[in-house]
Amino acid sequence: MRPAFLEIDLSAIAHNVRTIRQIVGPKVAVWPVVKANAYGHGAIPVSKAALEAGAGGLCVVLPQEALELREAGITAPILVMGPPSPDEAPLIIEHDVAATLSDEAHVAIMAEAARRADAIARVHLKLDSGMGRHGVRPLLVERVVEALAAEPQIRVEGVYSHFAMACAEDLSWTRHQLEQFKAMLSRLPRELMAADPVLHMANSGAIMRVPEAHFDAVRPGAILYGLNPGFDPALMQNLRPALTLRGRLATVKSVEAGAPVGYNCTYRSPRDTRIGLIPLGYADGYPRALSNNAEVLVAGQRVPVVGLVSMDCVAVDLGKVAEARVGDEAVLIGRQGDEQITVEELSARAGTIVEELASRLTGRLPRRYLGAEEGEDQ
């Protein structure tokens, strides 16, 4: 195995699903969001672990993501949250997944695909309650209702929306969106929908902070993986991070005071020391913004990242870890001994969010799964 890899604890995924189910109660389904390769964690093993722990369905954005899950033998309900295209609609119907409709044009696309396949298109209607992204705007509800009423081969199995600021300290816009969603729901004819349509709106922030938004199902994203998307850390105490980024020191070299390290000589050692090189870099998703701006765990101690993060290499100053040798483990995300480096810490240092940092950890990094039979995913 490459001496740099991601370790994914599937027992943490299962634990988080069970914790979320306890939060929302037995009458509310949990539909984890496993788009973007499950935020970099591995869509197939994560989905299987989540379903075994009691998840009721799965959410993706691309039909191709749904197809990957179907080909892996996953038969649970899947919702494609992205808008359908004419080329993708037949794929959605063929593999028995639900499409999202946000516009009259989407109704026409799915209806045409259903007619060609002589099938029923299963869909969820998305309403724009104030996110300003995909979703039917309030002024256009009746037009979309008319379009749906004219298409008997479309079955509306769910209605949903998405919060824009559910992690913000001020929840006033979130509560406005909730009321807007309810008002828009009241304008949808009951006969337009299948029996017992699934209503869902709560993302990670709303699951933890807005219980009145739980409805029939919730869609955990970041918290499924034990990542805090931006609310009070105290709310995360019962959730467990699933991801560890490990590497091994490929080179350990002595440098003298004043010696440069890395491209553009942005770092010069203030003293005689030893530099350790870890064989991963920004091509693996470790942000270049962490250059001279992060720490790594070696021998249970924090050591600083020095110099620019290269495409395939991260340098650390081993001055306070005299015993470090080639082959020793370096933890870039995760726990080693009593110390821990979190995705939250690194994303803050890199000026980004936890979802971006995790999902950009690339396929060059092998995934090693704990608590499952999948083993290593090359």
> What pLDDT is stored for residue 17 in this prediction?
98
Note whether residue 237 is domain-resident. no
Using 50, 70 and 90 to split pLDDT, how confident is the model at 193?
confident
Asked if 205 and 328 sit in the same domain, the reply is no
Query: Which parts of the chain fold into alpha helices (H)?
Result: 10-24, 35-39, 43-52, 63-71, 89-94, 104-117, 141-149, 172-185, 204-209, 343-350, 354-359
Q: Does residue 373 register a pLDDT over 80?
A: no
35 is catalytic: yes
For 13-27, what is the mean pLDDT? 98
> What pLDDT is stored for residue 196 in this prediction?
87
Asked if 137 and 188 sit in the same domain, the reply is yes
What mean pLDDT is reported for the chain? 96
Q: Does residue 378 register a pLDDT over 70?
A: no
Note whether residue 18 is domain-resident. yes
Asked if 157 and 298 sit in the same domain, the reply is no
Note whether residue 355 is domain-resident. no
Report strand pairing: 78-80 vs 193-202: unpaired
Asked if 135 and 190 sit in the same domain, the reply is yes
For the stretch 39-51, pLDDT in tens is: 999 999 999 999 9
Q: Answer whether 341's CB lies under 8 Å from 332's CB.
A: yes
> What pLDDT is stored for residue 29 in this prediction?
98
Q: What percent of the chain has pLDDT over 70?
A: 98
Using 50, 70 and 90 to split pLDDT, how confident is the model at 124?
very high
> What pLDDT is stored for residue 375 in this prediction?
42
Note whether residue 62 is domain-resident. yes
> What pLDDT is stored for residue 141 in this prediction?
94
Q: Which residue has the tokens 């650390």?
A: 316
Q: What percent of the chain has pLDDT over 90?
A: 95
Q: Does residue 374 register a pLDDT over 50?
A: no
Structural tokens at position 179:
């009321």
Q: Answer whether 243's CB lies under 8 Å from 334's CB.
A: yes
> What pLDDT is stored for residue 372 in this prediction?
59
Asked if 54 and 158 sit in the same domain, the reply is yes
For the stretch 216-252, pLDDT in tens is: 999 999 999 999 999 999 999 999 999 999 999 999 9
| Number of structural domains in the chain | 2
> What pLDDT is stored for residue 100 in this prediction?
98
Q: What is the CATH number of the domain that holds 190?
A: 3.20.20.10
For 47-73, what is the mean pLDDT? 98
Q: Which of 39, 48, 253, 263 is catalytic?
A: 263
Asked if 218 and 249 sit in the same domain, the reply is no
Asked if 120 and 196 sit in the same domain, the reply is yes
Q: Answer whether 181's CB lies under 8 Å from 161's CB.
A: yes
Q: Which of 27, 35, 39, 126 is catalytic?
A: 35
Asked if 132 and 274 sit in the same domain, the reply is no
Which residues make Cβ contacts (< 8 Å) with residue 128, sequence separation at least 6?
A: 102, 134, 135, 136, 137, 138, 161
For the stretch 318-348, pLDDT in tens is: 998 989 999 999 999 999 999 999 999 999 9
DSSP code of residue 337: T
Question: Which domain covers residue 46, as residue numbers?
Answer: 10-224
> What pLDDT is stored for residue 194 in this prediction?
82
AA identity, residue 233: P
